């Protein structure tokens, strides 16, 4: 017996939330990426200025070619940025770099949520992909238990990301204060940079949507030729 179609009443709102977050983050980044910095600062300049202003030492800023996501690594005590963010002289690069630097400030201040954030991000990255694999796998083998398991895992992952959101927003708040204080951005640029930093805080929630095509490539495409051949 196949699953109850009512499962979509739970899944569709979840996908809508993630989809809207993904669209909004991309739109904000795209808009800010074409606005050059009035001070000529690049992403690494912004990160260094925030670190110096906040008195956080022994944290390096490095560009990592081939990296897909900018992040602060507590284990390495480093801010790892994509080249376009590290060297970009636009408001998107400044906002993203400063946001990640905000996590370094949290680490130095022993923010209680930072350790939990690291665990949540790792588990959520795995959980969102696993949820979609189970969901799509349920359709392929016609097993309702897999479909329901996928929905449960994906929902739990989204909730975990939303719990993590206050920590992300706090990182943006801390860094934005130092950006203005050091003069890396002007007051006129602050609204656009604030939107970028808010979008950066939502990146992990928005990124959950990318697990859908990943799961599709891993599961649906390899199995589809076999099913078609069997039908012939």
3-state secondary structure labels for all residues of the chain: CCCCCCHHHHHHHHHHHHHHHHHHHHHHHHHHCCCECCCCCCHHHHHHHHHHHHCCCCCEEEECCCCCCCEEECCCCEEEECHHHHCCCEHHHHHHHHHHHHHHHHHHCCCCCHHHHHHHHHHHHHHHHHHHHHHHHHHHHCCHHHHHHHHHHHHHHHHHHHHHHHHHHHHHHHHHHHHHHHCCCCCCCHHHHHHHHHHHHCHHHHHHHHHHHHHHHHHHHHHHHHHHHHHC
Domain extents in the chain: 7-222
Indicate if the pLDDT at residue 21 is higher than 50. Answer: yes
- Residue 121 banded pLDDT, cuts 50, 70, 90: low
- pLDDT value for 26: 92
Give CA–CA dist 222/215, Å, rounded: 11
Over residues 134-157, mean pLDDT = 65
Token couple for 43: 């992403």
Please write the tens of the pLDDT for every residue from 156-215.
776 766 767 888 889 999 999 899 999 999 999 999 999 999 999 888 766 655 555 444
CB 121 within 8 A of CB 219: no
Please write the tens of the pLDDT for every residue from 84-114.
999 999 999 999 999 999 999 999 988 777 6
Please write the tens of the pLDDT for every residue from 28-46.
999 999 999 999 999 999 9
- pLDDT value for 66: 76
Please write the tens of the pLDDT for every residue from 45-94.
999 999 999 999 889 999 988 766 898 988 889 999 999 999 999 999 99
pTM passes above 0.85? no
- pLDDT value for 220: 44
* 138 or 60: which leads in pLDDT: 60
* 152 or 125: which leads in pLDDT: 152
CB 150 within 8 A of CB 100: no
Buried b (16+ CB within 10 A) or exposed e, 3-33: beeebeeebeebeebbeebbeebeebbeebb
């Amino acid at each position: 017996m196949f699953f109850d179609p009512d499962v979509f009443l739970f899944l569709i709102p979840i996908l809508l939330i993630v989809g809207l977050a993904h669209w909004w983050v991309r739109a904000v980044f795209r808009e800010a990426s074409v606005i050059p910095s009035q001070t000529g600062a690049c992403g690494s300049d912004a990160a260094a200025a925030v670190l110096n202003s906040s008195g956080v030492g022994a944290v390096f800023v490095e560009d990592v070619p081939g990296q897909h996501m900018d992040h602060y690594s507590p284990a390495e005590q480093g801010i790892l940025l994509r080249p376009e963010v590290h060297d970009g002289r636009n408001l998107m690069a400044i906002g993203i770099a400063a946001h990640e630097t905000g996590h370094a400030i949290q680490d130095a201040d022993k923010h209680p949520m930072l350790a939990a954030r690291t665990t949540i991000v790792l588990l959520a990255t795995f959980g969102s992909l696993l949820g979609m694999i189970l969901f799509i796998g349920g359709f392929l083998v016609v097993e309702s238990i897999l479909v329901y398991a996928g929905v449960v895992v994906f929902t739990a992952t989204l909730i975990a990301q939303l719990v993590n959101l206050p920590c992300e927003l706090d990182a943006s708040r801390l860094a934005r204060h130092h950006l203005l204080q050091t003069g890396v951005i002007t007051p006129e640029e602050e609204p656009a940079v604030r939107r970028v930093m808010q979008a950066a805080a939502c990146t992990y929630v928005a990124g959950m949507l990318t697990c859908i095509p990943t799961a599709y490539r891993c599961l649906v495409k390899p199995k589809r030729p076999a099913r078609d051949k069997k039908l012939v």
